[in-house]
Amino acid sequence: MVTPRKPPLTPDASGFNVYARECPARMVLDRIGDKWALLVLDRLRHDAARFNAIRRDIGGISQKVLSQVLKNLERDGLVLRTVHATVPVAVTYSLTPLGETLTQAAASLIHWAESHMAQIQHAQRLYDDRLAATSL
């Protein structure tokens, strides 16, 4: 039986609860429940990449934010930062085994947006038209 969770949610078996603001799990959610982090995780899903390659692939991400996101993901053990002892040095980022356990969910979320755009845009038009109508 799949455990049904009805909020206010009971904690996880190990006692963690994202619904509680002070819970460590919530703090992790603060970092992974973020568009940039999700895009980075998805970008690393198939191959490791260098800092500037990631930056070029993810349109609109700034160096500062990418740097912060990568540091956070590294600290949480999701991403591995490797400095290659070449000349000149190259820095690559890759997923850890732990990070790989998250990418499926991350990719699903990202992918969902792309595959449901028709319905979303339809809803947006209805909403905007209805709003314009009521304000007249």
Residues of this chain that bind DNA (CB under 7 A): 34, 36, 50-53, 60-65, 67-68, 70, 81, 87-92
Angstrom distance (rounded) from CA 88 to CA 124: 50
> Which CB sits closer to DNA, 62 or 108?
62
82 binds, among a second copy, DNA, none (CB under 5 to 8 A by kind): none
User: Binds 6, which of a second copy, DNA, none (CB < 5 to 8 A, cut-off by type)?
Assistant: a second copy
Tell me the C-alpha distance between 53 and 70, whole Å. Answer: 13
The answer to whether 89 and 83 have CB atoms below 8 angstroms apart is yes
**Measured CA distances, 106 to 41, 45, 111 (Å):** 7, 10, 8
Work out what residue 94 binds among a second copy, DNA, none; the CB cut-off runs from 5 to 8 Å by kind.
Answer: none
